[in-house]
Chain A
């Protein structure tokens, strides 16, 4: 309903990367995920980790929505006492350093091994584990490259995938703390 008020030109739903510094408390994650759930914001991925400051964590959220939703996400996050700082990161790759780590376990017969090693090498993926019938590859890249890599090895038979969710920093000298 509320969105109906807003300029329909803004109705293009895009993915946005939001970075937040939060108190490293128990419960902060549930406060944030609860906020997204009850306000109806769509999360694509959410990654949490410690930072250079011991009691501060960084949460990187990739969310989908128009400008109105994005503004509300930032404002509502800022209202949480545990949230120290929120910033919507630039969308363009020229300004944004965005990475996700993927582990992918793929079926691999001895005869296919060299082929897969070659594919891994071309894509800067590491071979993390090899067994008689499978190989686990590790790749850290942006989401497009991860998807492309996944497609490339799909024909061999993907047994399982684990991904961390996107983490990101703005390029250049600026930081969220500054």
Chain B
């Protein structure tokens, strides 16, 4: 068989069920074999290559294994770069397959040639270029390595660039002999991620927790990377430690839990930031101390830091760690739970101080909007107040829903106010802050778990970076719901210009935007446009009841703040 067919078969063996892509001349042999080999893999035709990457990312975050995006050489491949960089920043395992020009023409600047391994070098965990047909037989090994590298250690994107003649090369390959990477991890000399934590450091962790009066757990995206949510909750409960989370860590701990403090950082609420400022022991679990989450000045406050991360380079990079624990967060939490003394005292004083009299499920989370000194004047202005809106959404949305947020005010509102329970997931572009992520991510997430309600929340700015994917949703029957928070502004930039640039509002007005309901209608999608608080409940009920894609446009005040 040719290498292209071997590639298809290897992907099947790796458990790939859906791939997201966009064809072109240099990747045609692969597309040919998808059909000729009667592949079980469903190909989802996105309407822009970046969205293929974002969709693979959304699917991988839900399926918990690497997912695949495909593009052709040149512009198709370069369009993938933003998605690859987005996945890299958030440590999401995706495999990017790109066609490349004929191997003999590489370096001659022929039509649709781009040096992809060179271009993505800063944004991939690893990359491969099969330089000549002689290397075609290496493809199965490379696929196994790519899945292994993407999924293990600190997850991340891997790119495989395959010239058209290499795809067409006949190789001897037996499908039955191919062992998927998860069952038969390849031996790679330079790649040996650590698994369990150093025993001595674990002992020091236990001692530090026992000594601490005001400990705090900070949960990051790494918790999801190893599906360690339940273990983390057991740890927090047994050691009686309040939990804050980074943006990437949202939904790793139930919002209504008595120990839940919410998202910390520059865009976070008061409670989690107060917790950070006043704790005496900070336990970072799979969080890399991004500047928006923990400012360097925090390190001068004198709390002790335990940093658990699988990537040794993150430990001590942005915050000095007294106790570094390099390891798989799942394994490390198991080690900690095993050694944690049974008679460990409670931290009643600290917990009561932070979390007041919150008890059990009756807790009412203080909305960030409560901090606002504005009186709610939304009714007069014919707009919906975000506070009302998220209140209704939290009431009506299933607790195990998947919610994606874009970038801008919609992201901060959602991050601070969405309340999800066990199994619920919040997905957003945390590190890169990539506009246009929410819809394709939701498309992928829905494929990752078709049973779940998937809702994408974006702004009227970011929606216009991704609405071409409405066609993808219709074509492939992907029933996600989209909520557009509309204020005819690039709201986050407007806010920044107001606060830091003397209100010199420049290039933030979205005049010329279409009527989104008419646009949805053009795609055969139903929707509703609301501009009054009293319509929120009914509109959300209709949206959630819909068995098909649905769009809800919510008018919000242009003066609304994200940091409330």
Contact = CB atoms under 8 A, between A and B. Distances in A.
Given A79-B313, A81-B191, A2 B118 contact: no
Contacts of A4: 296
Interface stretch (B67-75, B121-129, B230-238, B542-550): B121-129
A72 interface: yes
Nearest to B129: A27
A84 interface: yes
Contacts of B312: 75, 78
A31 B121 CA distance: 7
Given A34-B121, A83-B190, A84-B190, A2 B317 contact: yes
Interface in B54-78: none
A23 B190 CA distance: 8
Contacts of A26: 129, 131
B138 to A, nearest CB: 12
B8 interface: no
B431 to A, nearest CB: 15
Report, as a range, how many residues of chain A touch the other chain: 20 to 34
Contact of A5 (B129, B131, B319): B319
Interface string A2-22: 101111000000000000001
A67 B316 CA distance: 12
B496 to A, nearest CB: 20
Interface string B304-326: 00000001110011111000000
Given A1-B291, A34-B122, A72 B317 contact: yes
A22 B190 contact: yes
A174 interface: no
Contacts of A71: 316
Given A2-B296, A27-B129, A75-B313, A38 B318 contact: no
Nearest to B190: A84
A85 to B, nearest CB: 8
Contacts of B126: 81
B478 interface: no
A6 B320 contact: yes
Contact of B299 (A5, A23, A27, A38): A5
A82 interface: yes
Contacts, number: 50
Contacts of B313: 72, 75-76, 78-79
A26 B129 CA distance: 9
Residue from the set B190, B299, B311 with the largest chain A CB neighbour count within 10 Å: B190
A30 B121 contact: yes
Interface string B115-147: 001100110011001010000000000000000
B296 A5 contact: yes
Given A26-B131, A27-B117, A75-B312, A81 B291 contact: no
Interface in B467-516: none
B149 interface: yes
A176 interface: no
A79 B311 contact: yes
B189 interface: yes
A58 B117 CA distance: 22
A4 to B, nearest CB: 6
A148 interface: no
Given A78-B312, A81-B125, A2 B318 contact: yes
B122 A30 contact: no
B188 interface: yes
A80 interface: yes
A169 B193 CA distance: 27
Given A5-B296, A5-B299, A23 B317 contact: no
B118 A30 contact: yes
A45 B291 CA distance: 32
Residue from the set A23, A72, A76, A81 with the largest chain B CB neighbour count within 10 Å: A81
9 contacts: A1-B296, A2-B296, A2-B317, A2-B318, A5-B318, A26-B131, A27-B129, A75-B312, A81-B191
Given A5-B319, A75-B313, A78-B312, 13 more contacts: A1-B291, A1-B296, A2-B317, A5-B320, A7-B320, A23-B189, A23-B190, A27-B129, A30-B121, A79-B313, A81-B149, A81-B191, A85-B190
Interface of A: 1-2, 4-7, 22-23, 26-27, 30-31, 34, 38, 68, 71-72, 75-76, 78-85
Interface of B: 117-118, 121-122, 125-126, 129, 131, 149, 188-191, 291, 296, 299, 311-313, 316-320
Closest 5 CB pairs of A and B: A75-B313, A81-B126, A84-B190, A81-B191, A5-B299
